[in-house]
Structure 1
């Protein structure tokens, strides 16, 4: 089973059912008619519902699971331990959405992390000193001191590198809140449609003006391997490997592969409390983000339902979407339908195949959903004590609130892990990003205990062509725990329970095709005008009245909300025509 209690010190082994906490679902019965239906109560679907209802459309959200949030969900896997079971950090949620929906008023509270990154080394300390580590945060002087342990040149260069990336990030922000350029609208159709489509060029023009002489640098970051960029700036392996994790996180790629530079950029373009690039923990776990959005949507009048599994989209005699049919046979009618599912699930599972052309179905089949991620949620009765920064009193140090990068001493270690997965085997020295949100948010675990997220790479969807078994899951988790133990002796003894989610588990439980956390690879051929397909980038589908609103659309994955907002705007604009 994906979620299995690990027997320790005589404690019984049980299977977790993932108890929901603070689910928000309408108590009224589902009506037979709405203006808009949203399939899936993930954060983007909830954002879409909020904007649709705010725009005057009577809207309902239909969520398959017993808990809202999709991948942004909090679940009590073991008694007293509340986990951000899938997504685990917040940064990319667009400030405009947070302000529009007044999410703070609806309960969203974020704990800022500083420092934000800790990379311990596996090495012998000198003259009895602990092993070295690299800690990065908001204090430039502290960062330079930390980097100087490995390279004085890198310490001097780091300020300029950060400023360089920040200029690019600031320039592309207009593209994140707007739909892609409407190429078809500009080049075809009536004069009125062309004039309207020209406005979609404005964010691109604004971006270009802000980039100015940095356009070549932006192009390089967009297209180059991350390592090419990092090698231009730095020489020390721990720094390059730590930064390279952002270029591969959630993506089956190497930092030496073309396009990994953009993935790096994607993970530093966020903002929290007006702090650029900051990542934080949400009080109550990531489900509280979804909960706040749901509360906002319901405050406008939207109706939200859990345990409503959609069988297929209902089409009218004219071929347009006219509602949905639940798997129990219930028909719910609407003017429009928005799907928060992945493009593949939307068009292969939910849409009647006879309504789609063979050419379109073939194109959908080509969308890449390869995932390297196995997420392991761990309940601990004691805080990890790292050799590189010891805290033997079980009280957290500043580094405990960070993203803790294990097996990240060198880029060669990351490359080896990637190549093993590409050969169909889970990495035997996996890249691990450990976070301990209970250090800042005591509501997540019993007193003295902690919840830990282990976001690990690289693992394939199939192991040398065959499906994962329960033994495979446990063996890989054992490998991960053995490596954590090397950095923090005593870790394994402190484990109360673990929840193992391989790529197939992420697909089965959360509907993430291929286990891909972004609803589709963030590769260059699946970004902006080509997300999810070159002729399917404006949130509209070939079926009139059927829209996409999930992370498979521009601007992509992460808890961002923009796909939901933009899809809602497209619906409102179309209904006004």
Structure 2
């Protein structure tokens, strides 16, 4: 079947770039003219919101612009026979109560847990004919200590303590994920009765504080400090520190030496999968499997979900409240409330009539940071990569390291810092940080037998190139070749195994998925854009300045990742408001 993959090559032998076909996952019929709630965008948060609104008794419709549901959590057949998680590519952060409430397993969600989960090979000469060293980390702490001990016995000894400490900090903030931020206006303004009622919004904050206990100072340091300040206190070996530091910059335009990078790391370790804390896994069929299962659950509850229905504008009534939406073709779909799963920029600068918004609010929206360093590259290959540090066996079967997040150019923090600095100067990193995954190792549905899909999450690439120049196809090919040349350093022959590729620079991510600036989080996860200030202090509770218009996407608290919390919290806010009417 490897020959089948090779047939995707052009006659010249060059890898083809295919346009995704995708599968139609929405209703082909037109939406009705009246609903209780209309949701703009069929990303996972919008789908979660639709399910909970429908459960709450509101007839709800989801209107998705693209031909396939899922937003960034989507599966597409880019190369014939190869199915990719085209944007997001791993699952961990989806909140357990959503998983259970919506019966996602019953609706088709299947996850392959990974163990081990991280592999960092080094570029070095092996000693006495041995392969180069590498670091392999998984769930077995003793094995982890053996791996870390190759670089530092001191680090190996203390590593279990570090893991337990980080887990405690991560678990302590779970109450904050499943509730809106503290209602500051409610607590400080209005009648005494209303202020007392608003005090209930403090409960999650108090719960987190009690869970943290004496660790509050350590938590405060972690979320505000450069992660290297923390990691340097714990460890001495560069491969370990660099591997851990990748979680502090993944998807973020920051370096491990910048303040706030500690929170990005915490955000990436606070998940839970199949009751296993901190676990990450591959979704069968790709990340679109998450979105499909949520959509299936929402439909079973009665929600209407449509693809290829692009919203052109939020409909504002004479009284200044949201009355529904107007589709691009001019069709009006009226509703009591509108929820936007789009980014704050798209919602308030493109979809909302500007004369309906206060000028100071528009000014604030314009200041939201969407800077992204990410280029996603999806690759079809006709054989497994063969790493010098972990050579393939004669039978060609995948090794444990093939199921991991494979970190390349992560030998030291200095390498990460240099890559970051280049990206800030308008140049794609010449030695980019690479996280590659091969989900087809665990999920055979993704590729023909003997073949594989490879996902590259690369950093650092700017939105604008030097001098404000836009990306060209030549620039994309040049950067992709840089990535593949580096992979060849670790796994010779990789480049020759490629039969097709899909290159998504920050502007491409913006165009394809509506991610402003190409930012996967719907806005930077920096300290000035979190919790009470996400996306802005004035709308941190999902309610916009326009009555009846709500935010439900990752641009709201608690932020990015396939989590579902923003959709859940927004739905609860809508139901509470309608109950008070």
TM-score exceeds 0.5: yes
1:484-499 pair list within 5 angstroms: 484-499=487-502
The CA deviation string for residues 302-342 of structure 1, in whole angstroms up to 9 with x for no partner, is: 00000001000000110100000011111110000000000
Distance 1:481 1:387 in 2: 15
| Aligned pair partner of 1:549 in 552, 556, 578 | 552
- For 1:279, the equivalent position in structure 2 comes to 280
Matched, 1:100 2:90: no
Residue 71 (structure 1) shift: 0.0
- For 1:256, the equivalent position in structure 2 comes to 257
Q: Secondary structure at the match of 2:112?
A: strand
| Aligned pair partner of 1:517 in 499, 515, 520 | 520
Contact 2:10 2:16 in 1 (8 A): no
| Higher mean displacement: 185-194 or 470-479 | 185-194
Matched, 1:473 2:476: yes
| Aligned pair partner of 1:410 in 409, 412, 419 | 412
Residue 195 (structure 1) shift: 2.6
Residue 358 (structure 1) shift: 1.2
- For 2:436, the equivalent position in structure 1 comes to 434
Contact 1:385 1:392 in 2 (8 A): no
| Aligned pair partner of 1:461 in 453, 460, 463 | 463
- For 2:398, the equivalent position in structure 1 comes to 396
Matched, 1:207 2:208: yes
Distance 2:284 2:214 in 1: 41
| Aligned pair partner of 2:12 in 10, 30, 55 | 10
Residues 6 and 504 of structure 1: is their aligned pair in 2 closer, same or farther, counting only changes over 3 Å?
Answer: farther
1:35-50 pair list within 5 angstroms: 35-50=36-51
Distance 1:308 1:398 in 2: 43
Contact 1:6 1:498 in 2 (8 A): no
Q: Secondary structure at the match of 1:267?
A: helix
Contact 2:17 2:501 in 1 (8 A): no
Matched, 1:505 2:504: no
Residues 491 and 9 of structure 1: is their aligned pair in 2 closer, same or farther, counting only changes over 3 Å?
Answer: farther
Distance 1:9 1:220 in 2: 57
Distance 1:14 1:317 in 2: 53
Distance 1:271 1:15 in 2: 35
Q: Secondary structure at the match of 1:138?
A: coil
Residue 29 (structure 1) shift: 2.7
The CA deviation string for residues 446-465 of structure 1, in whole angstroms up to 9 with x for no partner, is: 01000000000000000111
Residue 191 (structure 1) shift: 3.4
1:135-534 pair list within 5 angstroms: 135-393=136-394, 394-464=396-466, 465-534=468-537
The CA deviation string for residues 376-416 of structure 1, in whole angstroms up to 9 with x for no partner, is: 00000000010000014321000000000000000000000
Residue 24 (structure 1) shift: 2.5
1:550-565 pair list within 5 angstroms: 550-565=553-568
Residues 350 and 406 of structure 1: is their aligned pair in 2 closer, same or farther, counting only changes over 3 Å?
Answer: same
Distance 1:228 1:535 in 2: 33
Residue 193 (structure 1) shift: 2.6
Distance 1:198 1:62 in 2: 36
Count of matched residue positions in the alignment of Structure 1 and Structure 2: 572
Residue 13 (structure 1) shift: 6.6
Distance 2:475 2:193 in 1: 59
Contact 1:374 1:455 in 2 (8 A): yes
Distance 2:485 2:15 in 1: 20
Structure 1 unmatched runs, 5+: none
Distance 1:14 1:81 in 2: 13
1:25-44 pair list within 5 angstroms: 25-44=26-45
Residue 7 (structure 1) shift: 5.2
Residue 17 (structure 1) shift: 2.6
Structure 2 unmatched runs, 5+: 1-6
The CA deviation string for residues 487-529 of structure 1, in whole angstroms up to 9 with x for no partner, is: 0011011100010000000000000000000000000000000
Contact 2:38 2:324 in 1 (8 A): yes
Contact 2:55 2:301 in 1 (8 A): yes
Q: Secondary structure at the match of 1:328?
A: coil
Residues 532 and 6 of structure 1: is their aligned pair in 2 closer, same or farther, counting only changes over 3 Å?
Answer: farther
Q: Secondary structure at the match of 2:538?
A: coil
TM-score under structure 1 normalisation?
0.98
Q: Secondary structure at the match of 1:563?
A: helix
Residues 54 and 231 of structure 1: is their aligned pair in 2 closer, same or farther, counting only changes over 3 Å?
Answer: same
Q: Secondary structure at the match of 2:173?
A: helix
